Every structure is written in structure tokens, then in C-alpha cells.
Amino acid sequence: MAGGMLKSCTWLIRLMQLIFAIILVGAISYMIDQYRHYGWNVPKDLIVPEVFSVLAIIISGLSMISIFFLGYSLQLVAALLDVAMFAGYLASSILLRDNYFRRSWMNPLWNELVWMRATNQDSRHERRNTGLVKLLVAFVVIQVVLFFTTTILSILVARKMEKEKRLDERKRGEHVNV
């Protein structure tokens, strides 16, 4: 019973990871498109979270499908992939550290997005860019927490599965000896 509850909780968190990763890919892709449209170099502040968000879609999607079917060893592989994703999103949050200000004009990413549009006499989209930068920063931090959580849960699921496997082997051994 506890194993099923643990797996269900892990599945729900993985679903949230998948949803947030999809939203991040869309928001970051729009920002990257803006940089390319106006001929500016795309900062690594956007490239790194974009790469890890695409990887998160793949890893979370596969892990969601297989959480109920993976064995002990593959659960540990899933935990290892979660550690890698955690590290990637942690690096992304460090790269975005200058964009955590409450006031939009203090965030360098917001300033670049507004400035490049203004220099081309386009609408500055200040509110849209405020929302995008805040969404990017918030979801990257949330992904750090979620991937750390699924790392722990994957290890717990693997340990639970190993204990159940040993218990089943003991029961089968007792039935054979009787």
C-alpha cells in the first residue's frame, strides 16, 4: 500500500515537472526568437534552461510512463537522471540570479528584451516581458525543487521495490522447502 502511494506521489510530481518544462520551453523559445529576430546574441541565461527543459520533457515523460513498470536498477537510473536534471536546473537558476528582482527594470533580461524592441521602434511589451522573465525565474526554481524531490522519491521507490523483491524471494523459498 505504501509503495503504491509513493509511486503515485512520484508520478504526480513528474507530471508537474513535465507541465512546467513544456511551459518553460514555450516561454524561452519565444524569448530566443525575439533575440534572433532583432539580431542580438542569445544569452546563456536562456540557452541553458532551454536545453534542460527539453531534456526534462523527455526524462519526465519516460519516467511517468514507466514508474509503475521499472525494476530496482532502472529506478536507480531514473534517480540518477533526476540528479542530473536537478544539477542542470540549479545551474540555470544560478545563471538567472540577476533576474530575481521584484522590480522589472532591475532585471537584465527584461531590460534587454525591452531595449531591443525599443531600438527598432517596436512596441516595448513591458508587461509581457515582465511576466515572461518572472515566469522563467519562478519555474526554473520550482523545477530545482521538483527534481530534488523526485530524486529522493525515486530512491525510496527503488528501496521499497528491493525490499518487496527480497520478501517475495523468501516466501517462494519457504514454499519450495515445505
pTM comes to 0.86
pLDDT value at residue 101: 77
Number of domains in the chain: 1
Q: Which of 176, 156, 144, 150 is nearest to 62 (CA)?
A: 150
pLDDT tens string 105-136: 788 888 888 888 888 888 877 778 888 889 99
Alpha-carbon distance values, 96 to 25, 59, 106, 158 (Å): 16, 23, 13, 34
- CA dist 81 and 75 (Å) reads 10
Nearest to 21 by CA among 107, 136, 110, 132: 136
Q: Can you give the residue range of the structural domain that contains 163?
A: 2-177
Amino acid 23: pLDDT? 97
In which residue ranges of the chain is pLDDT below 70? 1-2, 175-178
What per-residue confidence (pLDDT) applies to 3? 72
State the pLDDT at residue 177. Answer: 59
